[in-house]
Amino acid sequence: MKRLVPGLLAAWAVLAVLCAIPALAAPKEKPLPVVQLIATGGTIAMKIDPVKKAPVPAISGEDLLATVPEIGKVASIEVQNISNVPSGYMDPPRWVELQKAVVAALARPEVAGVIVSHGTDTLEETAYFLDLTVKSDKPVVLIGAQRNASESDFDGPRNLLNAARICVAPQAKNMGVMLAMNGQINAGREVVKTHSCDVEAFKSGDFGFLGNADEDRVVFYRAPLRRQYIPLKTADLPRVDIVYAYGGADGALIKAAVAAGAKAVVVAALGWGNVNPAMYETIKEVAAKGTVVVISTRVYNGRVLPHYGYIGGGATLKEAGAVFADNLSPQKARLLAMLALQTPKSQAELQAFFDH
């Protein structure tokens, strides 16, 4: 026995060393990328109020994050609550505040991307505003929900998880501001809300989605090529109003917008960008006095062009000094005009922004 003990002790010593080697040699786990969640409100932050029997703002960004525990395998999420309002309350001051928060987050080297939770009613406007004013190769992904957090099929958690997956996907770099809902990825410039309540409410018209957040991975099929950057020079953006063209319109609303202080008026014109004689005369009058008139269209797809030569046709509107919004919707043409008019521009200079 006395001769066996030293041998056993030696064997145990060797075994202990061998067992310790893998532990010492094991590489440290790579830290998860950091993604900033900026919460602004909307249906994604609402629950049914027991008294009002209707959805109202109720949950924070932290509450939303708690509905998706599996997101902890994708990224380290940091939450910043800057508001909790319906998206119909969004306006230029709130857009400027949000832009500053996004820029500050992206400036941090450890942040891989930013998620903005937002109501769906003006989601497309906020997406385009950020796409125009944020300069970074890191992804910014906007999400919302069509069903509130009290509903059993609340779509907010899935959209949040997919947004985090997009933020950490290498191919999401240089894609600009995107909107991710229902597993679909849309470009900020192109996306539009096309249904009041369906979960598949957002589309990109003739151009289609950028890609999908599929079950196994994030897949991109194309890149947004018509992006541009306009520095945000002031928090006090010029007033720009939108006026619809319709059968029998007389231009009174354009005059009212100018009287209210609008520096520019976007006309949601007919077809290729046409109006009736009464609106034409008003456009000609206000343009001659220095008000910028931007011609968009109430049609969902296609560009506006100075095509028709009759009074009120696009060619006559261009001669009167109007600028054409290309394929931007009236609400997005308004945003581009607001940013472009931070400093005075000629008709040709403004047209270059819309042609970009």
The per-residue pLDDT for range 210-239, each reduced to its tens digit, is 999 999 999 999 999 999 999 999 999 999
Does residue 354 have a pLDDT over 90? yes
Is the pLDDT at 21 greater than 80? The verdict is no
Average pLDDT of the chain to the nearest whole number = 93
Domains and CATH numbers, the chain: 34-220 (3.40.50.1170), 240-355 (3.40.50.40)
What sign does the dihedral 178-181-186-192 (CA atoms) show? negative
Task: For Cα atoms 158, 164, 168, give the angle at the middle one, nearest 5 degrees.
Answer: 145
CA-based torsion, 161, 167, 168, 169: positive or negative: positive
Residue 81 φ then ψ, to 5°? -95, 115
CA 205 remoteness from chain centre? 16
280 vs 139, 238, 311, 319, 354, CA distance in Å? 42, 24, 7, 11, 21
High-pLDDT (> 70) share of the chain, %: 92
Whether residue 312 is predicted with pLDDT greater than 90 in this model: the reply is: yes
> 142's torsion region: left (phi>0), alpha (psi -120 to 50) or beta?
beta
For residue 143, which of 13, 34, 42, 238 has the smallest C-alpha distance? 42
For residues 23-35, average pLDDT: 75
**Which structure tokens are listed for 142?**
């906007």
* Residue from 198, 204, 212 nearest 144 by CA: 198
Phi and psi at residue 205, to the nearest 5°: 60, -140
Burial class (CB in 10 A: 0-12, 13-18, 19+), 303: middle
Q: 330: which 2 tokens?
A: 């009236």
Determine the pLDDT at residue 9: 47
Band (172; pLDDT cuts 50, 70, 90): very high
Give pLDDT tens digits for 52-87.
Answer: 999 999 999 999 999 999 999 999 999 999 999 999
CA 10 vs CA 3, 5, 13, 15, 306: distances in Å? 12, 9, 5, 9, 93
pLDDT attached to residue 2: 47
pLDDT at res. 102: 98
296 DSSP β-pair partners? 268
Q: Which amino acid is at 346?
A: S
Q: Is the pLDDT of residue 93 over 90?
A: yes
Read off the pLDDT band of 28 (50, 70, 90): confident
With a cut of 70, say whether residue 270 has pLDDT above it.
Answer: yes
Q: First CA to last CA across the chain, in angstroms?
A: 91
Query: Which pair of structure tokens corresponds to residue 118?
Result: 């937002």
Which two structure tokens, joined as six digits, stand for 208?
Answer: 């289609």
Rounded mean pLDDT, 189-195:
97
Q: What is the pTM of this model?
A: 0.91
Q: Residue 6: what pLDDT?
A: 54
- CA-wise closest residue to 175 among 226, 126, 217, 118: 226
Of 316, 275, 312, the closest CA to residue 297 belongs to 275
Q: Does position 131 have pLDDT exceeding 60, yes or no?
A: yes
pLDDT value of position 231: 97
Measured distance CA(98)–CA(102) in Å, rounded: 6
Given a cut of 80, whether residue 17 has pLDDT beyond it is no
The encoded tokens of residue 226 equal: 């018509």
The pLDDT confidence band at residue 30, using thresholds 50, 70 and 90, is: confident
The pairing of beta strand 211-213 with beta strand 76-81: unpaired
Q: How many CB atoms lie within 10 A of CB 57?
A: 17
CA 247 to CA 249: how far, in whole Å?
6
Q: Which positions are annotated as active-site residues?
A: 43
Report residue 29's pLDDT band, with 50, 70 and 90 as the boundaries: confident
Query: So what's the pLDDT on residue 16?
Result: 52
- Give me the pLDDT at residue 20, please: 52
183 contacts 217 by C-beta, under 8 angstroms: no
- The answer to which of 28-37, 111-120, 295-304, 337-346 has the lowest mean pLDDT is 28-37
Contacts of 202 (CB under 8 A, 6+ apart): 120, 123, 124, 179, 181, 182, 184, 186, 191, 192, 193, 194
Q: How far apart are CA 82 and CA 97, in angstroms?
A: 8
